[in-house]
Structure formats: structure tokens, C-alpha cells
Structure 1
Amino acid sequence: MIRAADEAATAISWAGARVLVAGGLGFIGARLACRLVTLGAVVTVVDALEPQAGGNIANVADIRDQATIRIADLGDPALLRDLLPGCDVVFNLAGQTGHLASMVAPLQDLDANCRAPLALLEACRTLAPQVTVVYASTRQVYGRPIVLPVDERHPLAPVDINGVHKAAAEAYHGLYWRVHGLDTRVLRLTNTYGPGMRVKDAKQNFLGLWLRQVLEGRPIELWGGHQRRDFSYVDDTVRALLEAARVPMGQGRILNVGGCPPVSLRELAEQLLAQGGGDGGLVVSPFPSDRERIDIGDYYTDDSLFRGLTGWAPETSLAEGLRATLDYYRAALPLYL
């Protein structure tokens, strides 16, 4: 849902650009890669297709003949020596996103969310010092908000290992800008949803599992339900990533990107049930203790700084986004199970 003026400006910016999308078979990365291809960029997708992550070859079915797709570990030095020279922009959406999984396997999360982005930064410094690196971070670095909405001045106090490691990766990007002059830009994303997200379980996002439960006629299990969150439809998030790469004076910045006006999780579940026609209903359960310890409660974003720099704003309402996502999975659900 890109305005005509934005479409023209973006097309001019991206035509012929050489772009590497790390984590490009995952939910957001694949949507970004597809968009870049339509804008005329020369796109290479790298993804390890780790079983616990969100990568799915179905996400790039429309561009398999138009982009270079490499199933490989981003930390492979030979791979980076092959792909980085001459690259204009690197979007790094690779990583482990599961909060509970990071508490269960912290060293695995360390490798995915600290070692890998650091290795990529170092390879960019030596092989492609002219490149722009856009790193997808998370609102999870803030932990439990002290004040709402949360802007970039809010203290960082992650409540899980994943948030700690993402905060460390942010710091690496800032350091490489200040010390080495590498053009790095970091976006702290809020909850993103839409076609292509992992739906077979809740390892990437609880909303994915809710979508599956609605489409299969099973009840949505809701823990608490009072928590208020903002949600960003994937196409809005993709536009934000594209803007982040090209905005003047974006070097070295860490910026929030939010979404729709906040809703309670109960309101979200009720909207999803109403749109999906699910007859399974809603089951409110006590918070599992392991989840409750790392839940952040209410969170919604103040992204006025990013909006002011870029002119970006979300264009897809929650109702529109849920409808489009349900329509996609009505046809494609078997590909994601």
C-alpha cells in the first residue's frame, strides 16, 4: 500500500542497486526481498533455513527466478567474500527471535544474535566499506516500559536473553559507525504480522499461532489479555526498512518503528475471531510461569523521530491487515505447517 509519489521516489532510489537480504527467506526478509525485486534492485537472499526460525522457501516463490537465493550460514567467511564486494545495501533480518527459546538455549541465541551480526559487520568493514547496513532490532530491548509510549530515550532493560543480545548487536552497529565509519542504521521494530509469518507454533510470534487456531476452528488460548500492544503490518514494516536505508542523516541512528494504535490482546483476539469466522472461541488461561517472568506487559511505540526524518507512517489498519493475512493463509496454510 505505497502511495504513488512514494512508489516513484523509491523506484528511482532502488533501480539497479545491489542488495543483500540476510534472513531473506524469513517473514519480513522475504517480503522485503520481493519488494526490492519489483523496484528493480539486484537482490541476493541468504538464509540458513534453521528449523526453529521462520524461513520458508514459499515466501519467495514469486521471485525465485529473479533473485539469487543462497541457503547458507551467514557466518561463513567464504560466502561473505563472495557476496559483499560491490554490494550497496545489506539488510540484516537474520537471527533468533524466540524469547522463551533464548532462555532455554542462551548460547545458541548468542551465536545467532551477537556472533553472526558482528561477523557480518566485520566482513562489511573489510570487504565493502561503502555499504549501508540496516539492522532489524526489536522493541524487546526496552523491557518493561517505565512510561508509555516508549521513545528512544527510554532506558534499556531487557527481560530475556534475546533482548540482551539484540541490545548488544545494536551496540556493535553503533560502534562500527563511530569508529570505522561504516554506514549502519538500526530499527527497533514492534510486533510485525502478515502473510509469510510462522504460524505452526508461537516461536516467532504468538499471533501466528492464533491465526492457525482460528483457521483450524480451534480456540485461541489467551494469557491475561489486558496487555496493550501496537502491531505493524508487514508491508508497512518493509516500507520503513526501505526508508531507513535511504534517508539522509540516517547513519549511526537507532530509531523506533511502531504500528497501528495500541489494542489489548483480548481486543486483538476478538477481532481475529470475528474476521476469521472461527468457531473455536476464546479460552483465557493463567500465564505460564516461564512466560510470565519475561512478559513486558503494556508496550506501544513513540516513533515520531523516525516519522519526522522519513515521512513514513503506517498505512494498513489492524482490521485490513488481519483480513489480508487470514485470506493468505486460507490458501497457503499447508505450506507453513
Structure 2
Amino acid sequence: MNDFYKGKRVLVTGGLGFIGSTLALRLVDLGADVLIVDSMIPAYGGNLFNIEPARDRIRVNFSDIRDAYSLDYLVRDQDVLFSLAGQVSHLDSMNDPMPDLEINCRSQLSLLEACRRRNRDVRIIFASTRQMYGRPQYLPVDEDHPLVPIDVNGINKLAGEMYYGLYHETYGIRSVRLRLTNTYGPRMDLRSDSKGFAGIFIRRALLGEKIQIFGDGHQRRDFNHVDDVVDAMLLAGADERVSGECFNLGHARPYRLLEFVETLRRYTNVDFELVPFPSERQAIDIGDYYGSYERFHAATGWEPRHDLDEGLQDTIAYFRRFPDEYL
């Protein structure tokens, strides 16, 4: 994998966000010529400081992937495309569904159309979500689990996935779809209150504020450190054998929310309280979820390297170094 990216032209949409910037930094270290596209819409988490360690080695185009005309130019001559631009808030997708439709569905189709017109040889890695499974019918969830999304975000991400599959089969535009679970780590967006509990919990822990856990705290989740997610993306982009496939990411060890908070308490002075679910969150809560990544492991050898304790220690240390940039 390390040699594959040397000299490659790589486009990362959403590249100033949490996962995109971590990926871009790794790509630069691997010798890739990296172009980032990011709209810098405040609510979506783009942050120029995220690429500070390699600011002079990464090109940035401030553009919105909803602009189909700019996509024709941006995809030309790229060898690999990481499609990470997205609206990731499940709650926001319900409160204001049209931006989610535009970004997670229509824009993905526009991106594929640009590749069909200008660059059919590009390899695409699409960051999808476990939310499309809805409430698990069995655990761990594998890729054969029924797809029954319970919010607008899950529906639009599923449609986006289907576009990638269609264009792979019909036009030969190679793509891999990775279904991400709860991702955490340095550079994550801590300011949002709607992107998931991990960022909210970490922010409150760093600020010494009380964490509110909805329900009884026994809900189980799996977690991936961002470095492990980037490893998976790089493997997917470099391995021709996985083209056309979709895979879960995940972790062998799920944690209850109470265990997540207890792990945070090893590195911060934080307290918590149990509170009833707000009705709007209860309606889209999926209960217990943890996925099987065995199919991706069998195909590529990938498995997560970070356990939660090590990962949260690393995350807390990063944000304590740069509080003004993230808090």
C-alpha cells in the first residue's frame, strides 16, 4: 500500500473535515499529490488548522460539491478519489432534510456523472454509514443485514451507495463503499451538538462540564479511532480486488455508553447524569449497534489497531495541545 500512493494524484472531498484531513496528511506522507475540496460551511466541521502540519504540501480548492460545473474540472486527471464530503448529522437530516438530500445523494450522483464524462479510470472510495441498517435485527451486524434506515440521512446515504454500485456495473467506474461506525480521534468536530454523542462527550469532558447520557447508558456501540479508519480507506483505494464491494468497519469490542464515559474519566475530571431521551432523538435511536468487519478483514487483512482506552488518551492529549482551535 505504501508504494501505491507515491506520485498518485488524489482528490479528497470534504478534506478539511475530521476524517478527510487525517487522510490527506497520511496521503502526503505517502508521497501523493493531494487536492482537497471543501465548502467550509461552518456546520459541517471544515477547519484549515486540521492540515496545518502539511499546509504547504496540500492544495485546497474552496468549492461545494453541489456545484456540478466545478466537479467536471476537479475530477480530471485524478487517480484516486476519496468521497468524504457529507452531511453526517442524523438529527439535522430530520429537522432540515433538503440539505442532506442535496449533499449525500444528489451531489454523489453529480460526482459520478463528472467522472463518467471526464475520468472513468479514477478509483473512488465512498464514506458511507452504518445508519442505513436501522435498528439491528441481530448482532453483530454484517453486510447481509436488511437495510432499513430510520432517518433521512440513512436513506440518502443508501441511495448514494446504490449510485456508486450502479456506475461501477454500468460504466466501469471502480468504487468501494465503506460503512463507518462511530469514529473518534484528533481533529474531530467538537463544537457541534448534533453529530453524535462521542464529540459532545469529549468536549464536555475537556471543559469540565457534566455529560448527559440519554436513557440508562447501557446502549452498546463500537468505536473506530480515525487512524484505523484512514488505514481502511487507504487499503480500499489500493486494492483492486475490492472494487465494486461494500464493507462494514467496526471493532471487535463494543462498549456501553457508561463504559465510554468511565474511560474518559481516566483522563479528565468529568461527571455525568442519566436523563430521559428527548423525543426527537428517541425517534431515530437505533438501540444497541456493533458491526462485523470480518468481510473486510478477509479481503484486505484490515483490523483496528487502537482500543478505546488508548484512542481516547490520544484524543484528549491532542485537544489539550490545541484548545483554541477546537473548543
Contact 1:54-1:204 within 8 A present in 2 as well:
no
The AA in structure 2 aligned to 1:193 is: Y
Are 1:63 and 2:54 counterparts? yes
Aligned residue in 2 for 1:253: 245
Aligned with 1:290 (options 280, 292, 300):
280
Q: Deviations over 1:18-60 (max 9, x none)?
A: 0000000010000000000000000000000111112111111
Give distance in 2, aligned partners of 1:112 and 1:81. Answer: 17
Name the counterpart of 2:261: 269
CA-atom RMSD, angstroms? Answer: 1.0
Q: In the alignment, is the contact (CA less than 8 A) between 1:150 and 1:299 conserved in 2? A: yes
Of the candidates 157, 177, 200, which is equivalent to residue 166 of structure 1? 157
For the 8 Å contact 2:43–2:192, the answer to whether it is kept is no
The answer on 1:175 being equivalent to 2:175 is no
Q: Equivalent residue for 2:222?
A: 230
SS in 2 for 1:65: helix
- In structure 2, C-alpha distance between the alignment counterparts of 1:62 and 1:191, rounded to whole Å: 25
The structure 2 residue matched to 1:97, chosen from 88, 112, 115, is 88
Aligned partner of 1:324 in structure 2 is 314
Q: Kindly, what percent of the aligned residue pairs are identical?
A: 47
After TM superposition, where is structure 1 displaced by more than 3 Å over at least 4 residues in a row? none
Match of 2:231 in 1: 239
CA distance in 2, matches of 1:77, 1:293: 34
Q: Is the contact between residue 88 and residue 131 of structure 1 (CA under 8 Å) also seen in structure 2?
A: yes
Q: Distance in 2 between matches of 1:275 and 1:312?
A: 29
Alignment partners' CA distance in 1, 2:276 and 2:68: 46
Letter of the aligned partner of 1:255 in structure 2?
A: F
TM-score, normalised via structure 2 length: 0.97
| CA–CA distance in structure 1, aligned partners of residues 45 and 58 of structure 2 | 19
Q: Which shows bigger deviation, 248-257 or 287-296?
A: 248-257
Q: Secondary structure at the match of 2:178?
A: strand
Tell me which residue corresponds to 1:4: none
* 1:268 counterpart letter in structure 2: F
Contact 1:113-1:169 at 8 Å conserved across structures: yes
Contact persistence 1:232–1:260 (CA under 8 A):
no
Matched, 1:195 2:186: yes
CA distance in 1, matches of 2:58, 2:66: 21
Answer whether contact 2:135 2:286 (CA < 8 A) is retained. Answer: yes
CA–CA distance in structure 2, aligned partners of residues 335 and 260 of structure 1: 33
In structure 2, what is the Cα distance between the partners aligned to 1:211 and 1:42? 33
Tell me the equivalent position of 2:23: 32
Contact persistence 1:52–1:203 (CA under 8 A): no
Match of 1:6 in 2: none
CA–CA distance in 1 between the matches of 2:185 and 2:10? Answer: 23
Distance 1:296 1:50 in 2: 28
Structure 1: segments with no counterpart, 5+ residues: 1-9
Of 136, 145, 148, 1:157 maps to 148
TM-score, normalising length from structure 1?
Answer: 0.95
Distance 1:303 1:62 in 2: 31
Determine if contact 1:220/1:283 at 8 Å carries over to the other structure: yes
Greater mean alpha carbon deviation, residues 136-145 or residues 79-88: 79-88
